[in-house]
Structure 1
């Protein structure tokens, strides 16, 4: 084009090349300004921050599982998606227009579009299906989602649209999470996906719904992702959507349909300047469906897919592209729908748990970690946490955490909501401080629960203190790792370790990203579990656990002892597990991961006037808060406490013991108590004090070296009752 003196500026801007150049530079300027805009916006969006924190529930929710990502390309019509009814499915865009969408129980639906993109000029709005897009486009779109998707579908929506949905009373019967996005797709193989895709913060979206959907699925822990209806990733690119494609009735004949299809494609190319080609007809129901391709598609968009796929592979995740005959998949590994049906949906999958063939492993009763990770996952339930915490506030001091636990409990609550339970036994949080085996390497995790400590945490994050602290953290991590290595060496050398593993079934013990573990005979075992098993063996030398049917533990940590009891004594079918919130919440969710519906949580029991076991042999694990002890009516065969009595005020211990003593047949119940060697008289209650409260009971007292350190001892106080070994 030549610029002449007579050409007006408005005419110049109408030129397509000039317009594209203008859009390019405008987008570049927006990209430069966007980080500052997001920072400023997020800084003052306190409600938005609170909404994002709830997304921690999604982290590793489906760890090790597979998921089918349903896109809206025309090729989806060649997949019988009804067969995905029992699979994890994830939909985006206008997938709700598919006629079978309610028949598959869609698991997740995501739409991250901001409200401004849904205006009356939006060229992607399917008018033929939904009518014209009105002025209030986002509300119209949300109503379609709410009406067309089943209430069992979990929604993931843009946080900017929260107010609209709330004001219109939408999604009231659906579980909904809100996210914030960045446009960039900056990926580094060295940075784990849990950091890159952290949905509790503004997250990398890649500039497109497909990219963001995949990133979200990674965050959820999916290890296999199957793309269905992703025609634009094929070679040649298979275009148009299943809801707006050209279709012709079979009654007109195939040749006539072909002729009309070619005419329609040529008209489309002429109108929009596109380069579509006729590629054939597919058949579905009573219709011929046009297969239109574009051999010029790709370029930077496919480069982004390649970038994403490379990163996904580096994280141990696999993406498969469901591709029909006649097409290639230049980026993702190709798989046909026929293979999906015959190899994946038929049950012959790589995800199936294989039977163990190693006789040595069977003899040792070790549950392989890789197998367990695929079928056991700890899930967050913040509603349950909030219920027990709110109820706790109205309880008398007798049922509140004492001086030893008051600060720890508050910090645990905040840490749970900040990090969730997926890695509560790791090193990046203080969820399990003082009752679990997490590694505390960053003291800042303890400075979250009041203004003073938050100020100190903020101060520690400023230069140059942050540089010094980071160096100290690296040093602490090094010492922690060395201590684990030394512990492993000691445990492998000790005959006591081998004795315990010969005598007892050792279940999967690493749930919660346990780092304090030892490799023994080729298997990673939790050191904490080994400690608790050693405690149990010492008690079992005085109490006949094989004759017990029920057990009551106060202060059960995160459920390790209960887990070991149930896995080693099939005769024990009734459990009372009592702890203070939020520790109770952690133990409840941990036990649910192994025993599912057999765990009856606080929410189910909070309004019951009496708590008693069913008169059958079904497994029941009642997880109760301190104030619920007054409602227990069932007898128990064994009453246990490990160390926590020494950490409570005397009145609290007396109340627990008095309530135990009022239970039916308690005078014959076995009692097993453990405490540690050193006591701080300012915070800890000496065992002589709480032993006096068991009036009329005689205790066998003895001491034993700890499993790892012969210079440190545990003290045991056992009254066998009716379960005496003699």
Structure 2
């Protein structure tokens, strides 16, 4: 088995990110959705660090795609409820319903454990992704997952490792690439990279491209430490990135640059080729999304990809201290903000394993006469 590599902890860097974030304009700080999660996220990072972060069950790490968990390890309602309580989300469960659910789920869980496991699921979906990668002339094995962070799920397929989540991201990536255009040497930009999975695929496919990523802390801290291990000299970490001059292209061309969200204004004068957002805008407030898209338009990408729930990741009527967005982020917001310069080339269901077609992928193309 490939050697497992652990991430380095740097709590001083984490604290520095948090302090810098507090000074930023409200449009670039965590909105209510993620501000609520931080109450559990920061204590977890300070207590447990980043060791084995990809096998943590019922952790906030899973909410932004940082974990790779085996199916059989998550069929446990009491643990789910315990985690919900820690993250102040217990209000979403009615106690009487919970006890009934546990009685119903017990026999179902036993059957589930006998008949379904991650290996079966991954092997069932892998041929679909492999076929689509071949349409672009790419060998899917080059995009397999690393064992950095000691993932709980690492299934060997064709001699390489895959998890359900890594295969989901692979499918999202290749489905978009088939429908749009990006070539080696082009400039890629992403808001909300999470752990950095999307850029792993882009960086592997396009080794000479420049990639700039913007995110909020603490996610910023996790992706910084992960991408530093993953891409080494090609990666410009947070502490160096915030000192970069946009004009000094020789220092950042062809690199992967990670920056806090409030630096996007500084970089909005740089033309890019492809903008990407996957399941991140849906967790923000409407004015924040509109502001980001106005800056993206200034960067004049030829292509814009947005993956999101049609009505956002909305939990229902909002109450203070209970998380969620204050209003649903409906997909019409993207079209409304982009329609002056972009046309919606295609909208299709985002393919996820073991999930209904609840997300839509939107691919926008810049109008030929756009300013």
Aligned-pair CA distance for 1:547? 4.9
2:302 maps to what in 1? 669
Aligned-pair CA distance for 1:509? 3.2
Match of 1:408 among 33, 37, 40: 37
Residues in 1 aligned to 2:49 and 2:353: alpha-carbon distance in whole angstroms: 30
> Is the Cα–Cα contact under 8 Å of residues 613 and 620 in structure 1 kept in the other structure?
no
2:117 maps to what in 1? 486
| Residue 586, structure 1, aligned to residue 231, structure 2 | no
> Is the Cα–Cα contact under 8 Å of residues 310 and 331 in structure 2 kept in the other structure?
no
1:527 maps to what in 2? 164
| Residue 689, structure 1, aligned to residue 325, structure 2 | no
Change over 3 Å in CA distance of 1:612–1:448 after alignment to 2: farther
> Is the Cα–Cα contact under 8 Å of residues 169 and 197 in structure 2 kept in the other structure?
yes
CA-to-aligned-CA distance 1:288-345 (integer Å, 9 cap, x gap): xxxxxxxxxxxxxxxxxxxxxxxxxxxxxxxxxxxxxxxxxxxxxxxxxxxxxxxxxx
2:359 maps to what in 1? 714
| Residue 700, structure 1, aligned to residue 329, structure 2 | no
List aligned pairs for 1:439-478, cutoff 5 A: 439=69, 442-443=79-80, 444-445=82-83
2:128 maps to what in 1? 496
Aligned-pair CA distance for 1:521? 3.8
List aligned pairs for 1:52-91, cutoff 5 A: none
Aligned-pair CA distance for 1:500? 4.7
Change over 3 Å in CA distance of 1:480–1:625 after alignment to 2: farther
CA-to-aligned-CA distance 1:171-216 (integer Å, 9 cap, x gap): xxxxxxxxxxxxxxxxxxxxxxxxxxxxxxxxxxxxxxxxxxxxxx
Aligned-pair CA distance for 1:524? 3.2
Aligned-pair CA distance for 1:669? 2.6
1:254 maps to what in 2? none
Residues in 1 aligned to 2:219 and 2:115: alpha-carbon distance in whole angstroms: 25
Change over 3 Å in CA distance of 1:479–1:425 after alignment to 2: farther
SS of residue in 2 equivalent to 1:718:
strand
Change over 3 Å in CA distance of 1:419–1:425 after alignment to 2: same
Residues in 1 aligned to 2:156 and 2:122: alpha-carbon distance in whole angstroms: 9
2:147 maps to what in 1? 510
Residues in 2 aligned to 1:613 and 1:431: alpha-carbon distance in whole angstroms: 37
| Residue 615, structure 1, aligned to residue 250, structure 2 | yes
Residues in 2 aligned to 1:484 and 1:433: alpha-carbon distance in whole angstroms: 24
CA-to-aligned-CA distance 1:564-605 (integer Å, 9 cap, x gap): 111122232x11111110001111111101112432222224
Residues in 2 aligned to 1:659 and 1:653: alpha-carbon distance in whole angstroms: 10
2:264 maps to what in 1? 629
List aligned pairs for 1:22-171, cutoff 5 A: none
Change over 3 Å in CA distance of 1:705–1:692 after alignment to 2: closer
2:200 maps to what in 1? 563
Number of corresponding residues: 327
Residues in 2 aligned to 1:388 and 1:616: alpha-carbon distance in whole angstroms: 23
Change over 3 Å in CA distance of 1:656–1:518 after alignment to 2: same
> Is the Cα–Cα contact under 8 Å of residues 612 and 634 in structure 1 kept in the other structure?
no
> Is the Cα–Cα contact under 8 Å of residues 6 and 150 in structure 2 kept in the other structure?
no
Change over 3 Å in CA distance of 1:716–1:705 after alignment to 2: closer
Residues in 2 aligned to 1:687 and 1:484: alpha-carbon distance in whole angstroms: 37
Residues in 2 aligned to 1:590 and 1:480: alpha-carbon distance in whole angstroms: 37
Change over 3 Å in CA distance of 1:616–1:483 after alignment to 2: farther
SS of residue in 2 equivalent to 1:624:
strand
Aligned-pair CA distance for 1:435? 0.5
List aligned pairs for 1:114-513, cutoff 5 A: 370-373=1-4, 376-428=5-57, 430-438=59-67, 439=69, 442-443=79-80, 444-445=82-83, 482=113, 485-494=116-125, 495-500=127-132, 502=134, 503=138, 504=140, 505-513=142-150
Residues in 2 aligned to 1:528 and 1:398: alpha-carbon distance in whole angstroms: 30
TM-score normalised by L of structure 1: 0.41
Residues in 1 aligned to 2:215 and 2:164: alpha-carbon distance in whole angstroms: 22
Unpaired stretches in structure 2, ≥5 consecutive residues: 91-98, 318-324
Change over 3 Å in CA distance of 1:543–1:501 after alignment to 2: closer
Aligned-pair CA distance for 1:396? 3.0
Residues in 1 aligned to 2:250 and 2:13: alpha-carbon distance in whole angstroms: 27
> Is the Cα–Cα contact under 8 Å of residues 213 and 259 in structure 2 kept in the other structure?
yes
Aligned CA RMSD, in angstroms, stands at 3.4
2:93 maps to what in 1? none
| Residue 599, structure 1, aligned to residue 235, structure 2 | yes
Aligned-pair CA distance for 1:485? 4.5
Change over 3 Å in CA distance of 1:383–1:715 after alignment to 2: same
TM-score normalised by L of structure 2: 0.76
Residues in 2 aligned to 1:613 and 1:620: alpha-carbon distance in whole angstroms: 13
Change over 3 Å in CA distance of 1:507–1:481 after alignment to 2: farther
> Is the Cα–Cα contact under 8 Å of residues 601 and 623 in structure 1 kept in the other structure?
yes
Residues in 1 aligned to 2:367 and 2:182: alpha-carbon distance in whole angstroms: 11
CA-to-aligned-CA distance 1:118-164 (integer Å, 9 cap, x gap): xxxxxxxxxxxxxxxxxxxxxxxxxxxxxxxxxxxxxxxxxxxxxxx
